[in-house]
Amino acid sequence: MSNRIVELEILRYNPETDEEPKFQTFSVPCAEDWVVLDAINYIKDELDRTLSYRWSCHMAVCGSCGMMINGEPMLSCKSFLRDLPDRIRVEPLTNFPIERDLVVVMDDFMDKLDSVKPFLIPREEKTVDEGEFLQTPAQLSKFKQYTLCINCTLCYAACPQYAHNEGFVGPAALALAHRYNLDSRDVGRSARADVVASNAGIWECSFVGACSEVCPHGVDPAAAIQQTKIASSVDYFRDMLIPGRRS
Amino acid sequence: MAVSNKPIIWLLFAAGGTFAAFVTPVLIFITGLALPSGLLPAEALAYDRVLAVAQTQIGKLVLFAVVFLPVWHAAHRLRITAHDFGIRADAFVKYICYGLAATATVISAIALFSI
């Protein structure tokens, strides 16, 4: 282990005893190849067992360890200490209520994710015996990028529109809606439109693009939302001009 | 939630943005740089030639697009920028921005029609 000592300023909050969150600083001896999550795990194991935070896979797959690291929303398992200064400020993801220490309340995001019906709505249900819904590689490539979302909600912490307006459906949920709308096996676009194409949906986005910058998997929710704006605009005028198209 | 009627403004905004990005710079180059620097002959945009263009239906349409599309783009962008700067009087901002754009649209249409 190298002898680099990193000072971690961690925002602590215990809802049972604290009026408001406050910073606590820990000195952590770090190895060269550590990420911020390793340093936090060291604190939990060696310095303060009461520290609460979420993590699971330690390899940027599960999406649970998102935190504000020096003010930027990042996965703590993907943030190498060698890229960071000796004093690192770690806070829970912004734009979410704090549950305890670095754990945030995800209910709002979960409700919004649910509201866009992020699942396949096929033209007709098939039994297992009837076989698969076939898809060509070209059809897959249209939406594959948007399947890479791990629901880490870094994009919600980065989004200035979500910060202004809690009602905004938000980047990840809208990108996932777009993912299913683009799927050749899916016919759920009009069923999703009530939420996706509402004022609180895509139209609340002003294309700042911060969501795409912080996304750890390069999903590019900003592009998904702009593409949905075009598709929804076409739908809007078709519905207006072609009678009986939308019931 | 109901489907929003924002596509009306947004399509004007998107079309205006595309137009302003691809066509407006070319027009600025021709009128602002190529002509004054002598890259194009001075008579290329002589008054009677431009007038002849503006008197055709296609010419009127193109000139109308040059004016009204970027104006709607600017109006919507200013409205959003106001929001981003923390101005929350959106109803007021909206009427000012879109009102100016609508006025500019009507004026340019009348001006072109009367040529």
Which residues from chain A sit within 8 angstroms of residue B2, using beta carbons? 194, 198
- What is the pLDDT averaged over residues A12-16? 97
Q: Per residue in A26-41, pLDDT tens?
A: 999 999 999 999 999 9
Minimum Cα–Cα distance from B77: chain A residue: A206
Distance from CA of A194 to the nearest CA of B (A): 5
Domain membership flag for residue B64: yes
Statement: residue A3 has pLDDT above 80: no
Domain membership flag for residue A247: no
Percent of residues, chain B, with pLDDT higher than 70: 99
Domain membership flag for residue A143: yes
Residue A163 near residue A96, CB atoms below 8 Å:
no
Q: What is the dihedral of CA A205, B12, A194, A96, to 10 degrees?
A: 10
State how far the alpha carbon of A128 is from the alpha carbons of A118, A125, A180, A188, in Å: 21, 10, 21, 21
Residue A85 shares a structural domain with residue A113 = no
Residue A122 shares a structural domain with residue A201 = yes
CATH of the domain at B69: 1.20.1300.10
What ipTM does this complex have? 0.72
Minimum Cα–Cα distance from A238: chain B residue: B7
Beta bridge partners of A27: A7
Encoded amino acid at A17, one letter: T
Q: Per residue in B79-95, pLDDT tens?
A: 988 988 888 898 999 99
Which residues from chain B sit within 8 angstroms of residue A229, using beta carbons? 7, 10, 14
Residue A112 shares a structural domain with residue A10 = no
CATH of the domain at A228: 1.10.1060.10
Residue A111 shares a structural domain with residue A125 = yes
Between helix A221-241 and helix B7-22 the angle, nearest 10°, is: 120
The Cβ of residue A125 has, within 10 Å, a number of other Cβ atoms equal to 7
Distance from CA of A197 to the nearest CA of B (A): 5
∠A74-A79-A84 over CA atoms, to 5°? 110
Residue A179 shares a structural domain with residue A233 = yes
Domain span holding position A90:
4-104
What is the Cα–Cα distance from A25 to A111, expressed in whole angstroms?
35
**pLDDT for A2:** 66
Domain membership flag for residue A44: yes
Closest partner residue to B3 among A160, A197, A229, by Cβ? A197
Statement: residue A149 has pLDDT above 90: yes
Q: How many domains does chain A fold into?
A: 2
Domain membership flag for residue A246: no
Minimum Cα–Cα distance from A240: chain B residue: B5
- What is the pLDDT averaged over residues A93-106? 97
> Which structure tokens are listed for A96?
């979410």
- What is the pLDDT averaged over residues B7-15? 92
Statement: residue A52 has pLDDT above 80: yes
Reduced to 3 DSSP states, what percent helix, strand and coil does chain B have, rounded to the nearest 5? 80, 0, 20
Percent of residues, chain A, with pLDDT higher than 70: 98
> Which structure tokens are listed for B95?
């009427």
**pLDDT for A247:** 46
- What is the pLDDT averaged over residues B22-38? 93
Q: Per residue in A150-173, pLDDT tens?
A: 999 999 999 999 998 889 999 999
**pLDDT for A137:** 97
**pLDDT for B3:** 83
CATH of the domain at A89: 3.10.20.30
**pLDDT for A246:** 60
Q: How many domains does chain B fold into?
A: 1
